[in-house]
Structure 1
Amino acid sequence: MDDQYLNVIMGIIMNAGNAKGLAHEALESAKQNDFEKANQLMAESNQSLAEAHNVQSEMLTKEAQGEHTEMNLYMVHAQDHLMTAITYQDLVKELITLYKKNAQ
């Protein structure tokens, strides 16, 4: 495995992990009825998720152009982090909405 491939994997894991962590912080802010901070943290979470998704999209583009990507446990792990972050972020958005309704 070359360094460039490892950097791609770590980029997905790092950005997906950041997105999930920021979404969790947003949820904690919403629990305290600090919806301005929750919105700010979710915006940051979205940015991190976009960065992880961009890395993945680059890989998909290369694959479509015939440049095969090596699939190994590290890549599976990175994809798992990305999908978990996406799912968690979707759930947190719904929970923040519920906290806002409850606060009114």
Structure 2
Amino acid sequence: MNELEQKIVGIISSAGDSKAKAFEALKKVKEKDFKAARELMEESKKIDIEAHRIQTELIVAEMNGGENKPEMSLLMVHAQDHYMTSRLARDMVEVLIDIFDTEEEK
């Protein structure tokens, strides 16, 4: 596996871990453990930073062109798909935590 492929797999791995934490948080919402849910979401965000860092590095390399410009590949598209669905899942779980936590306060 070359360096570019390793970076791309890093995006996939980080995104998957981030999404898994978000869905763990959603399970905590079902149990009405909102404190644990919010803690898991913080972990999810921290994990997401690595995927975002790699993505940004690859975007900058593409914009700069030259021999460091990454080639578009199915693996790259797959990584972007994982990253974006992870972000969407995290955003939705955050809203659900707020919705259900607010309902409990009434």
Partner of 1:72: 73
Q: CA RMSD, aligned part only? A: 1.0
User: Any stretches of 5+ residues in structure 2 without a counterpart?
Assistant: none
Provide TM-score, normalisation by structure 2: 0.92
- The one-letter code sitting in structure 1 at the alignment partner of 2:44 is S
Partner of 1:60: 59
Secondary structure at the aligned position of 1:38 is classed as: helix
Provide TM-score, normalisation by structure 1: 0.94
Identity %: 41
* Alignment partners' CA distance in 2, 1:52 and 1:10: 10
- The one-letter code sitting in structure 2 at the alignment partner of 1:45 is S
User: Any stretches of 5+ residues in structure 1 without a counterpart?
Assistant: none
Over 4 Å off, 4+ runs: none
- The one-letter code sitting in structure 1 at the alignment partner of 2:25 is A
> Once the 2 structures are TM-superposed, how far is the Cα of residue 62 of structure 1 from its aligned partner?
1.2
Q: List per-residue Cα deviations over 1:19-72 (Å, max 9, x = no partner).
A: 100000011111111111111100010011111010000111111221321111
